[in-house]
Amino acid sequence: MLHLGPRGEHQLFAIALDGDRLYVIDVAAREGGGVYLESCDAEIVDSLIGGNQGRIGGGLFASSSNLTMLRTDVVGNDAVLRGGGVEVENVSEPLSIRNGAVAENRAPDGA
């Protein structure tokens, strides 16, 4: 899991680099199975967030954060409640996704 917090709190688990591409794959967590963002600005570039599981935001969960994703795919993630691929809360700017896909994610509410 990749966790970015407000005071420079960063935690990295199950992250793989292949050339210039970041992979966050097959991780399970309560919120944001693959990536959890809290009160920060983030840009995710040339990455794959896939096969992760979470209660909310199976692939990615962002709270009070501004997020841009460029050439990043969020695929094949599962959430128990909502946001199979991506779940965002309390954001001032809409999530920006350019040249990437959010697909084949599963959740009872908001896959």
Position with higher pLDDT, 15 vs 67: 67
**Whether residue 76 has pLDDT greater than 90:** yes
Give the whole-angstrom CA distance, residue 100 versus residue 80: 24
- pLDDT in the model for residue 107: 96
Residue 97, pLDDT > 50, answer yes
Residues 83-103, mean pLDDT to the nearest whole number: 91
Q: Does the pLDDT value for residue 86 go beyond 60?
A: yes
Is 80 exceeded by the pLDDT of residue 98? yes
The Cα 108–Cα 111 span in angstroms is 7
User: Backbone dihedral region of 99: left (phi > 0), alpha (psi from -120 to 50 degrees) or beta?
Assistant: left
Phi, psi (degrees; rounded to nearest 5) at 53: -135, 140
Nearest to 2 by CA among 30, 39, 27: 27
> Using CA atoms, how far apart are residues 26 and 76, in angstroms rounded to an integer?
10
- pTM listed for this prediction: 0.78
pLDDT the model gives residue 80:
92
- Binning pLDDT at 50, 70 and 90, where does residue 10 land? very low
Mean pLDDT of 47-61: 89
Position 74: which residue type? V
| pLDDT on residue 29 | 66
Q: Across all residues in the chain, what is the average pLDDT? A: 79
